[in-house]
């Protein structure tokens, strides 16, 4: 059983939703990333999305764009990200890591080479924002034991959900609003209405992300979704903290969200 | 499948092209593709497009024999397809009219565009004014500073110009930002993409709208000289003017197709914008093609004297034409392009765009190696008034 599947199974037994924070690898600098990963896991993160920095993050808002730029100042590449995961795995073998990013760094490394290296490093899932199911080589990832996570959005027609279902594994990620990461204006009732259909069609847990700003909102989403993804808000915490307080501030924020989600469960 | 019948249903030209975007945009691209399929078969739509090209743009654009320059070069005869004489001064307007008519057909009242040098921005602002639409143009902050006359033109035409300060602050970042706007406002907004690149169906529909250039040449050349040219030469940034003149010639196998990329300080220097000449395949801005990238697959900064060619990717059909051998691609350095620019000014009384000057420079390079009865047809894709500040600065002159 994959680490992601196992995590969701355990949470389901406890009637809890997964908390999935996102950080960009190498932000604010490469030396801090592994420490941050451990801090997030300790604070109650069930799965961690680790962003692979890219020069042209087309689907991201200004906050995550800046995180990518900070990491790229340190020349953090895909190989470095895999090395960070491998280092994290030396002491944590339970918290799934999902790499999230854009096609080109993986394309450039080669899909099969990447799949093998990622599996060896201890990566559990891959989400490439700009590779829709039609262009996906999910089979290569599956063969390496890596889950392929896809996005679904409010603009996705129902017929496409089936297409995603054929290729998706681990969980599916419902983008809760139109727009880039970090946007505002989330309509909870509308989002809640979409989840049961997706869950049934895909036969996978459904995570909700984009636009989740605080513990209260996370708790509200945890009532109907299988996972809550928080990205820009976490990255802001990194951006606004002095380097020596980054891990402490992130831990405190994530622990607060976790507590609110558990209290509401 | 015959080369000219590409792309396939999902936008592939061989291994290139495709649709590589976030899920949020998939439905909008599907809708655009479906609407375009209907429009191209709708005689009323195509008739209006042709009417606009004739009465608003001033087509057909003439072909001109650059006789004095050809004589000076002492070889092949150089003919120029005069896209510089179009309304707004470049080929860009052919495409923006087509897309604006599509936007209107789809009931979209707001259009957005990206621009580098500002030519596509001006062409988009122009058609938005013509059809009464709101227009927002994204432009890299560096380019806003470098191209202030075009920024003011867009404002005169009623457009809002948004400077983009992320990344390298140039065309590629403007494109990122336009995509982000589109993701956010996908229901109300039509994205007028300026070149034959981006996710399917853009490379196809931009090519189709620009193909009027080559279609005209197919009849104009026999009318003028009794035959087709020996070679067609065009500059390639994203590649819209080149694909526009190449596409109708693809089946004319005896006509060489030569695309000219921006060699900047020279390919060996690494400071250029020539992905077909020195790049490798990858995925950027929604499609697979040749790219300028580093060992980590990060997109690297490009360098060219011409803002319109300063782009790290290239339209997917050009990648396929290169691999299939049907077209050849070369690079012309900044200094060679400058000589082409000055030559055309002095020998023919035509101030060419710096982009087009790359194609001119390559013609000047190969013409002397050819016989006097051979014919080179160069796409003079735009006029150079917009570039006089850049040229003056290089000559140490302050205007």
CATH of the domain at B356: 3.40.50.1100
Q: Does B184 touch chain A (CB under 8 A)?
A: yes
- Can you give the residue range of the structural domain that contains A53? 3-264
* pLDDT reading at A8 higher than 70: yes
Q: Quote the pLDDT of residue B117.
A: 83
Task: Give the whole-angstrom CA distance, residue A181 versus residue B280.
Answer: 29
DSSP string, B38-64: HHHT-HHHHHHHHHHIIIII-PSPPEE
Q: Does B299 touch chain A (CB under 8 A)?
A: yes
Task: Please give the mean pLDDT across all residues of chain B.
Answer: 96
Together in a domain, B271 and B198: no
Q: Which residues of B touch A109 (CB under 8 A)?
A: 297
* pLDDT reading at A185 higher than 80: no
Together in a domain, B24 and B168: yes
Q: Which CATH number fits the domain that encloses residue A206?
A: 3.20.20.70
- Distance between start and end Cα atoms, chain A: 26
**B92, B108, B169, B322: which one is catalytic?**
B92
User: By three-state DSSP, how is residue B160 classified?
Assistant: strand
Predicted ipTM? 0.95
Mark which of B170, B190, B206 sits at the end of a domain.
B206
Instruction: Give phi and psi for A101, each to the nearest 5.
Output: 180, -155
Task: Give the whole-angstrom CA distance, residue A61 versus residue A64.
Answer: 6
Closest C-alpha to B279, from B337, B240, B236: B236
Instruction: Give phi and psi for B141, each to the nearest 5.
Output: -60, -35
Task: Give the whole-angstrom CA distance, residue A82 versus residue A59.
Answer: 22
* pLDDT reading at A45 higher than 80: yes
B93-139 tens-digit pLDDT: 999 999 999 999 999 999 999 998 899 999 999 999 999 999 999 99
**Residues B167, A155: C-beta atoms closer than 8 Å:** no
**Stretch A147-151: mean pLDDT:** 97
Mark which of B206, B225, B250 sits at the end of a domain.
B206
B158-172 tens-digit pLDDT: 999 999 998 888 899
Please tell me which residue, A185 or B90, carries the higher pLDDT value: B90
Together in a domain, B186 and B199: yes
B4-26 tens-digit pLDDT: 689 999 999 999 999 999 998 99
Looking at the structure of chain B, the number of domains it has is: 2
- ω into B301 cis (within 30 of 0): no
Paired sense of beta strands B16-17 and B12-13, if any: antiparallel
B320-374 tens-digit pLDDT: 999 999 999 999 999 999 999 999 999 999 999 999 999 999 999 999 999 999 9
Looking at the structure of chain A, the number of domains it has is: 1
Q: pLDDT category, A178, cuts 50, 70, 90? A: low
Task: Give the whole-angstrom CA distance, residue B232 versus residue B383.
Answer: 19
Q: Does A155 touch chain B (CB under 8 A)?
A: yes
Mark which of B167, B190, B206 sits at the end of a domain.
B206
Query: Interhelix angle for A78-89 vs A111-121, to 10°?
Result: 20
* pLDDT reading at B1 higher than 50: no
Q: pLDDT category, A203, cuts 50, 70, 90? A: very high
Together in a domain, B192 and B130: yes
On whether residue B318 sits in a domain, the answer given is yes
Based on the residue annotation, tell me whether A49 is a catalytic residue of this protein.
yes
Q: Does A211 touch chain B (CB under 8 A)?
A: no
Instruction: Name the β-bridge partners of B287.
Output: B284
Task: Give the whole-angstrom CA distance, residue A129 versus residue A118.
Answer: 17
Nearest chain B residue to A106 by CA distance is B297
A207-241 tens-digit pLDDT: 999 888 899 999 999 999 999 999 999 999 999 99
**Stretch A139-165: mean pLDDT:** 94
Radius of gyration (Cα) for chain A, nearest Å?
17
Together in a domain, B224 and B245: yes
On whether residue B2 sits in a domain, the answer given is no
Together in a domain, B344 and B215: yes
Q: Quote the pLDDT of residue B307.
A: 87
On whether residue B36 sits in a domain, the answer given is yes
On whether residue B4 sits in a domain, the answer given is no
Run of H or E including A67: helix A62-73
DSSP 8-class letter at B293: B
Q: Which residues of A touch B293 (CB under 8 A)?
A: 104, 108
Q: Quote the pLDDT of residue B258.
A: 99
Rounded to 10 degrees, the C-alpha dihedral B163/B166/B170/B176 comes to -90
On the 0-12 / 13-18 / 19+ scale of CB atoms within 10 A, B94 is buried
- ω into B60 cis (within 30 of 0): yes
Nearest to A130 among B167, B283, B293 (CB): B283
Name the percent of chain B lying above pLDDT 90: 91
On whether residue B5 sits in a domain, the answer given is no
Optimal mutation site among B297, B302, B312, interface A, most CBs of chain A within 10 A: B297
Query: What letters, b where the CB count within 10 A reaches 16 and e where it falls short, cover A218-233?
Result: bbbbbebbbbbbbbbb
User: In sequence order, which residues have a C-beta less than 8 Å from that of residue B76 and are 6 or more positions away?
Assistant: B70, B230, B363, B366, B367, B370, B371, B372, B374, B375, B376
* pLDDT reading at A183 higher than 80: no
Q: Quote the pLDDT of residue B256.
A: 98
Task: Give the whole-angstrom CA distance, residue B122 versus residue B154.
Answer: 5
Q: Quote the pLDDT of residue A182.
A: 66
Task: Give the whole-angstrom CA distance, residue B67 versus residue B380.
Answer: 15
Q: Quote the pLDDT of residue A188.
A: 82
Together in a domain, B313 and B236: yes
Residue B238 Cα to chain centre, angstroms: 6
Spatial contact of B172 and B299, defined as CB atoms under 8 Å apart: yes
Together in a domain, B33 and B78: no
Nearest to A55 among B19, B286, B298 (CB): B298
**Stretch A199-214: mean pLDDT:** 93
On the 0-12 / 13-18 / 19+ scale of CB atoms within 10 A, A103 is buried
Together in a domain, B46 and B147: yes
Please tell me which residue, A176 or A25, carries the higher pLDDT value: A25
* pLDDT reading at A37 higher than 90: yes
Together in a domain, B73 and B98: no
Closest C-alpha to B364, from B116, B9, B56, B72: B72
Spatial contact of A229 and A207, defined as CB atoms under 8 Å apart: yes
Spatial contact of B33 and B339, defined as CB atoms under 8 Å apart: no
**Residues A58, B295: C-beta atoms closer than 8 Å:** no
B182-222 tens-digit pLDDT: 988 988 999 999 999 999 999 999 999 999 999 999 999 99
Task: Please give the mean pLDDT across all residues of chain A.
Answer: 94
On whether residue B364 sits in a domain, the answer given is yes
Run of H or E including B378: strand B375-380
Task: Give the whole-angstrom CA distance, residue B396 versus residue B399.
Answer: 10
Q: Which residues of A touch B24 (CB under 8 A)?
A: 59, 151, 153-155, 175, 178-179
A238-255 tens-digit pLDDT: 999 999 999 999 999 999
On whether residue B72 sits in a domain, the answer given is yes
User: In sequence order, which residues have a C-beta less than 8 Å from that of residue A124 and are 6 or more positions away?
Assistant: A2, A3, A4, A47, A96, A97, A98, A146, A147, A170
Together in a domain, B177 and B244: no
On whether residue B388 sits in a domain, the answer given is yes
- Can you give the residue range of the structural domain that contains B44? 12-53+92-206
Together in a domain, B45 and B99: yes
Nearest to A55 among B18, B167, B186 (CB): B167
């Amino acid at each position: 059983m994959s680490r992601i599947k196992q995590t969701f199974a355990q949470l389901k037994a406890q009637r809890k939703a997964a908390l999935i924070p996102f950080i960009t690898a190498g932000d604010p600098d490469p030396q801090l990333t592994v420490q941050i990963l451990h801090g997030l896991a300790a604070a109650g993160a069930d799965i961690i999305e680790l962003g692979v920095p890219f020069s042209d993050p087309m689907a991201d808002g200004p906050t995550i764009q800046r995180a990518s730029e900070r990491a790229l100042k340190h020349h953090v590449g895909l190989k470095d990200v895999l090395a960070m995961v491998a280092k994290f795995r030396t002491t944590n073998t339970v918290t799934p890591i999902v790499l999230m990013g854009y096609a080109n760094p993986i394309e450039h490394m080669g899909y099969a080479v990447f799949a093998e290296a990622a599996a060896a490093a201890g990566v559990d899932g891959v989400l490439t924002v700009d590779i829709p199911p039609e262009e996906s080589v999910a089979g290569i990832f599956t063969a390496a034991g890596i889950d392929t996570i896809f996005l679904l959005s409010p603009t996705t027609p129902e017929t496409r959900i089936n297409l995603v279902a054929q290729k998706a594994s681990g969980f599916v990620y419902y983008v809760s609003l139109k727009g880039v990461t970090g946007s505002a204006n989330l309509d909870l009732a509308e989002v809640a209405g979409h989840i049961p259909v997706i869950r049934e069609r895909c036969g996978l847990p459904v995570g909700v992300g984009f636009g989740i700003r605080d513990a209260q909102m996370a708790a509200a989403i945890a009532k109907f979704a299988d996972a809550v993804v928080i990205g820009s808000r976490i990255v802001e915490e990194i951006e606004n903290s002095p380097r020596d307080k980054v891990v402490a501030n992130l831990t405190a924020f994530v622990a607060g969200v976790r507590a609110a989600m558990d209290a509401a469960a | 499948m015959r080369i000219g019948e590409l792309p396939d249903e999902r936008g592939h030209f061989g291994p290139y092209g495709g649709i590589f975007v976030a899920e949020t945009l998939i439905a909008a691209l599907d809708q655009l593709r479906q609407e375009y399929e209907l429009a191209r078969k709708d005689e009323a739509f195509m008739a209006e497009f042709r009417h606009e090209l004739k009465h608003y743009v001033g087509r057909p654009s003439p072909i001109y024999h650059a006789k004095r320059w050809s004589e000076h070069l002492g070889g092949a005869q150089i003919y120029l397809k005069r896209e510089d004489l179009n309304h707004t001064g470049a080929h860009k307007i052919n495409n923006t009219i087509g897309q604006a008519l599509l936007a209107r057909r789809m009931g979209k009242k707001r259009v957005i565009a990206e621009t580098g040098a500002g030519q596509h921005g001006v062409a988009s602002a122009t058609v938005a004014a013509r059809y009464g639409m709101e227009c927002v143009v994204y432009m890299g902050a560096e380019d806003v500073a470098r191209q202030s006359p075009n920024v003011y033109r867009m404002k005169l035409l009623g457009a809002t110009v948004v400077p983009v300060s992320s990344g390298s602050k140039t065309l590629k970042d403007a494109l990122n930002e336009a995509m982000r706007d589109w993701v956010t406002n996908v229901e109300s907004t039509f994205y007028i993409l300026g070149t034959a690149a981006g996710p399917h169906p853009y490379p196809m529909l931009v090519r189709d709208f620009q193909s009027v250039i080559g279609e005209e040449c197919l009849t104009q050349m026999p009318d003028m000289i009794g035959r087709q040219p020996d070679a067609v030469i065009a500059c390639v940034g994203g590649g819209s003017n080149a694909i526009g003149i190449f596409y109708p010639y693809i089946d004319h196998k005896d006509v060489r197709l030569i695309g000219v990329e921006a060699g900047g300080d020279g390919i060996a220097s690494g400071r250029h914008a020539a992905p077909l000449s020195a790049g490798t395949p990858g995925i950027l801005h929604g499609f697979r093609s040749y790219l300028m990238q580093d060992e980590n697959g990060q997109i690297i900064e490009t360098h060219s004297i011409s803002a319109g060619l300063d782009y790290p990717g290239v339209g997917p059909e050009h990648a396929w034409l290169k691999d299939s051998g049907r077209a050849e691609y070369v690079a012309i350095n900044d200094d060679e392009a400058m000589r082409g620019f000055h030559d055309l000014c002095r020998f023919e009384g035509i101030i060419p765009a710096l982009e087009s000057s790359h194609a001119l420079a390559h013609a000047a390079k190969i013409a002397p190696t050819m016989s006097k009865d051979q014919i080179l047809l160069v796409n003079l894709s735009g006029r150079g008034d917009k570039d006089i500040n850049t040229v003056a600065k290089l000559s140490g002159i302050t205007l």
